[in-house]
Amino acid sequence: MTASLLVSTGAMALDHSYRDYAALLGRHVHWIAGGHASSVDYAALKRDGKALEQVLAAFSAVTPGQFDAWERSRQMAFLINAYNAFTLQLVLSGYPDIKSIRELGSLLRSPWKRPFFDLLGAQRNLDWIEHDRLRPVYADPRVHFAVNCASVGCPALRPEPYAAAQLDQQLNDQQRRFLTDRTRNRFSAGDGTLHVSQIFKWFAEDFTTAAGGGLKQWLAGHAALLTDNAADRERVERGDFRLDHLSYDWSLNGRDNQR
């Protein structure tokens, strides 16, 4: 059997339940802070590097034609899983000598623009997955709660893969966990300010409503998750709030930074 046939066979046999990736995440990623965040045991993951390499090889083996034949939810799950798994590989390339993923970039190029893996027939970087595929093609703002930048300020890395059959539920759950995290999003009734993550500043244009409203209207529509009592919820629902973006914590989401 030729090498090319082996690659093709491996891609055709991609396990869309991602069992190997699930086992890897289950061993090394754990919910913390009441389920609002997760922690990665990077030291143990580095020792388990062979397993991660096998997961990444399966992602890289998928051809563009095979990907294009999948339904939308399968494509999204694959891209989110690939983003998160290759981010783990990127962190491990510098671990334990880094405190933040940003240290893996340079003055001229961020770590997210570094081409260091093969995906869908070409060498790619993480920005390609997020900004060239996930955001423009699928136009679902919930992906911002699913892709993980290996930082404390980022929405949690889920300790399980995304899968087509559960994708909608998983994305809703990620959104709920993030919006109800008061270290990242909270309403101050005293001065009427809704303090939210920088994610809502960086990607404000993605958070539009079906009626065409902008970020403030999107946030108002999620007032029940952003507030803790009826009076505050009603105020946010009316749009009666100032908007403030909290500082972003770029510390590595490892065991040393549990909260």
For 139-148, the pLDDT digits (tens) are: 999 999 999 9
Residues near 129 by Cβ (< 8 Å), separated by ≥ 6?
79, 82, 83, 86, 119, 147
Do both 215 and 168 map to the same domain?
no
At 153 the three-state DSSP class reads: coil
Do both 100 and 209 map to the same domain?
no
At 255 the three-state DSSP class reads: helix
What is the mean pLDDT of the segment spanning 3-32? 78
Q: How confident is the model at residue 10 (pLDDT cuts 50, 70, 90)?
A: very low
For 188, phi then psi, to 5°, come to -105, 105
pLDDT of residue 165: 97
Instruction: Give 151's strand partners.
Output: 252
Q: Quote the tokens at residue 115.
A: 């081409």
Do both 207 and 97 map to the same domain?
no
Q: How confident is the model at residue 256 (pLDDT cuts 50, 70, 90)?
A: confident
User: Does residue 98 form part of some domain?
Assistant: yes
Can you give the residue range of the structural domain that contains 203? 186-245
The yes-or-no verdict on residue 9 having pLDDT over 70 is no
Task: Give the tens place of pLDDT for each residue, 168-216.
Answer: 999 999 999 999 999 999 999 999 999 999 999 999 999 988 667 899 9
Q: Which of 125, 147, 181 is the last residue of a domain?
A: 181
Percent of the chain with pLDDT over 90: 89
Between CA 110 and CA 104 the distance in angstroms is 8
